[in-house]
Chains A and B, each alone.
Chain A
Amino acid sequence: MIKFNTLDYLKLSKWDRFCLKIAVFLNLIPARIFALVKKLLILIKNLLLAIYNEAADILVTFINGDWKTRLSYVVMGFGSIARGQILRGALFLLFEIVFILYMILAGGHWLSLITTLGKKGPSTTYDPILDVYTPVYNDNSFKILLYSVLTVFFIIAFIFTWRVNIKQNKIAQKILASGKKLKSSKDDLRSMVDDQFHKTLLALPLTGIIIFTVLPIFFMILVAFTNYDGSHNGFTNSLFTWVGLDNFNTMLSWTANTQGGVQSYSATFGEVLTWTLIWAFFATFTNYFLGMFVAMAINKKGINLKKLWRTILVLTIAIPQFISLLYVGKMFAKNGIINGFLMNMGWIETALPFWEKANWARVTVILINIWIGIPYLMLITTGILMNIPQDLYESARIDGANAWQQYRKITLPYMLFVTGPYLLTSFTGNMNNFNVIFLLTGGAPTNPAASSAAGSVGYTDLLVTWLFKITTGAEAAYNIASVIGILVFVAVAVISLVVYNLLPSIKNEEDFQ
């Protein structure tokens, strides 16, 4: 590790300092990766340890427990009811009854089919009297998978609740043994709006998130290991089953072609990923710097009607993005208003191919995104700009710094410091920015080598729009889409983690003013 003392560091020229920073950064990468892996291993170790501890605790509680506790192992809530905590006990018991009923009536059935995802597929029969062909629908792989996953979740929830029940018994026993009184039901109710208020508040939102976000994501991850697509939709044309890592192989191989295209999935993935990263980079940073610039321009001393300028820009946020993007997209069409205007003025002879050529389309999309994004960025940066202490600028001016130097040394570092995390979330958000691309171009112009049947992957397609086309196109390759989704997630997560860990180092560097 290269170490400089402060004096020597200040002696270095600017260029050397820059090189030094890069060298330090690169030097740190292997150490960082190593640290990350170490953290992961520690996490796993802690997890296993925790499970072991829990198991041990359960055993110990049973051994040390009185008859009320031991009975609670089978009849949940019994211990609580027997000790006078009616409310808690009743809730536990109710949960157990519901769970057992569910497993008997439905859960067992679904779980039994989870390995095969259905045994009997659909068939067609001919009715000679009526002269019609009617389908016979049997198992539904999709439903089997869905409800099995739900059942598994339910089982996990039950185990968790059962564990809590045991713990409660243990704690209650201890409290009684030491002579104190247990909380009554009334106390419980009161604590729900007081020190346990967070549980009350979080109950509903978390339930919603678990059912409507966690469950679908988990389900889609599982789909990546099946062959669920348009020709195997699990019900009307064929069942689908587990295929292990086949989809990953297809995705990452260089030979299997995209559906309908002539280049491999991995080549298409590479192309689309590259464009997605470029797009996210430009979309985030052009908006950021230009928005900051506009905010500074409006903020400058001597500019009147500040509110008017801000209001006009903010108007763009008010209009639903849907309308403005669709309309602006049409404005740039071959027979749209922009071309019409330019031709009427005589500045061009033929219509400019805004959406017809790949690079034109890409640049246009970035430009229009600037139009969408600047007002929002302007708002944010205005707020922060106003917080920068003015005397910093004064002292800089006295020292002879011009506007550009003031910007570089004071404004920019401060802004980056405060909005670092925001930039990161903005970058990853832009990587998944479906609306702008879909409404403006729909991914056009088409990339013929990569096109998917009836989906036409294009040069402006992001990973998310490509995903959308795969799932809603004619081939409906949900399995491939899930694989891509997982890869997207990994890409975004890696970028976020890396950059997030990078931020503190930037912070520390710039803090010395």
Chain B
Amino acid sequence: MRRTTRVATAALAALLLGACGTNTGASDDGTDGGDTADAASVVTADDCADPDAATAEITDTLKVGWSAPLSGPLADAVGNVIAGMEARFAVANDEGGIDGVQLEVVTRDDAFNPERAKANVGELIQSEGVDVLDTFGSGQLSAMADDQTDACVPLLFAQASVPAYRDVEQYPWTTEYLPSAEVEAQVVVESLTAQYPDGATVAMAVNQSESGQGIADAYRDAFEGTDFELVGEAPLTDPNTAASTLKATGAQILVDAGVTTDCLALTNAIGRAGWAPETVIQPSNCADGATLYAPAGEAADGQQILRWLKDPANPAFADDPDVQQYLEQAQANGADDPTNSYTVNGWVIADLMVDVFTQAADSEDGLSRLSIMQAARTQDYAPPMFIDGISYQMSPTQSFGILAFEPYTWNAAAAEFESAGDVVDISSRYQ
């Protein structure tokens, strides 16, 4: 039995260590581009392994290579992202492509494993000859960014929000789609300031991952120098313990510095702890009402999030002509779950790409990997599925993309989100 116990203990330890992550603690500063005034001076082919390939004109087909978790727990979500993306490309191709160049998506399964993502990128670049890359997940982006940068293949609108890749000098060939925690925290504080002009007490539940720590750091910075007082923090490792700890602070506001899986868990935990803070702020990635708020019932009522996308499942957008057109085109082109938020995200990412490709094709150099990257670095575009008044803005001196949000609150009785105010735009802070 002693031998069995030792073997079992070792196996258990191996399982546990396999589940552990790392925390690099990088800071979120999307304004590292220096004083450079135009994209051409930020992104050049000078340091590329093969400068000619980076400037070669793309003809016939433009391939977008995706390394994504097509198997495992995220497969459904990512399947919807890709379905949305392919639907948007199909619409562009039906309209003649990008000056006649057809768009094609090439996928590789990384099972949410960064090492496989790294291998996939090598294969996508060398075997498939893709012109543009994309990926899903921070670890995946980190695993592939150096290789993709060396090869000078644009990696556009990664579904990640890692501060390091907003540094245009270090990673001129990489951009991210998801909002920066720094921007989101500033918008939340601005929105709270309108709600609490004299300030208030704040408690924060923090996920212990790199993402959670990044969000928490952003909130600490955003609250600094305001009338809001951070009176308590608790790790989200055990949501029930976090709820009890933060309830004891008596804070008026609870901020969830967590990831998607924390939203429902924290809501259930504070409900069961009998704590009803005046205001609960959930992260913007917790946007799916049906799975993250409705199951919690009354405990989720009044919780606030920031949104940048129109929600085709929300009756408030039923008459929006852009949403109607999206639903019609997405369904007609194979996206069988168009109201799913992941499908909308995939569509919008493809829409942003189509805009970048069009700008690149219209440039003096024509459509090439270099002109695509230069267009991405100066993009200012409001996708029709973005909430009115919000656009995706890039410049050689900032790489945040999304710099505005509209606040929403969850109505438990109606089981839907309702607008809680006008769009809060902080883009002027980064000009």
Bound pair: A and B? no
